[in-house]
Amino acid sequence: FSHGSFTLFLTTRFERDAVVYVRTDHDVSLMDRHLLEVFASNIAAGFDTVELFDQLKAAQLATVVALADVAEHRDTDTGGHVMRVARSTQAIANELQRAGPYRDQITPLFLELVGTASILHDVGKVSTPDQILRKPARLDAAEQVVMQRHAATGAVMLSRAAKMAASPSYLSLGAEVAMHHHERWDGKGYPKGLAGTDIPLAARIVSVSDVFDALISRRPYKDPWPREEAIDFIKTNSGSLFDPVVVEAFLSVVDAEALGFWEELTKPAAEASAA
């Protein structure tokens, strides 16, 4: 404290200290000094609370990624599939919130949860036998039935975990995504055969992100598609496999800088196609 000014030093437990310098036209009384010290202590505690909250969110995300990685690791050649799906899902949801007719459904909570929830879309694959999951050819009808069970299995797993949360969470939204991301806009998908907007919005978004990334990725049964061919597939199947509104949002963001993580992945696909 000095004549015409005072300086507050805010010290935290996480080495994120701060200094506040304030000029004033009068001297600070003893009572004001005590109040300012309390204020500084409270603000420092607030910084600690924010830091702890950020650490909690980071720990939750790490847990989700680890859980998804258990399923993904068994499915060879997928690499960072779930993280790319999460980032593209988030970008599409942001675009829908900005410009689409689903703006009223995309609440701040939805935007906060949907990217993390999408990471868990294939967690049910932990129950799929290796001889089916890693088969280097297309599945026959009986194997398709077994593979399709992963949607309901993942939903059951996540629904059980979600019951431990007191409010809607990435687990409850993830259960919706796991169950319905293989539904089709025309009602010919699985496991429930839902159609149109009866399919939860999060699942409709993840469906586009998941299929696009699967097309441009190498899998045991196929080579990666060139990027433009994959985009054409999404366009062609708008209104049959996919929600046309979600497809439009996807097309709006697919070339955006925020989705640059797809560029490195698709270069090898283009080179392979040229060869």
* Angstrom distance (rounded) from CA 33 to CA 41: 12
> Number of C-alpha atoms within 13 angstroms, CB side, residue 51?
12
* Angstrom distance (rounded) from CA 202 to CA 96: 11
* Angstrom distance (rounded) from CA 85 to CA 209: 5
Catalytic-role residue among 57, 125, 163, 192: 125
Q: Scanning the structure block, which residue is given the tokens 């939204």?
A: 173
| C-beta of residue 85 within 8 angstroms of C-beta of residue 119 | yes
| C-beta of residue 69 within 8 angstroms of C-beta of residue 78 | no
Helices (H), the chain: 30-74, 81-99, 108-118, 130-133, 141-162, 170-180, 201-215, 227-236, 244-253, 261-274
* Max CA separation in the chain (angstroms): 84
Give yes or no: 125 in active site.
yes
Residues known to be catalytic:
125
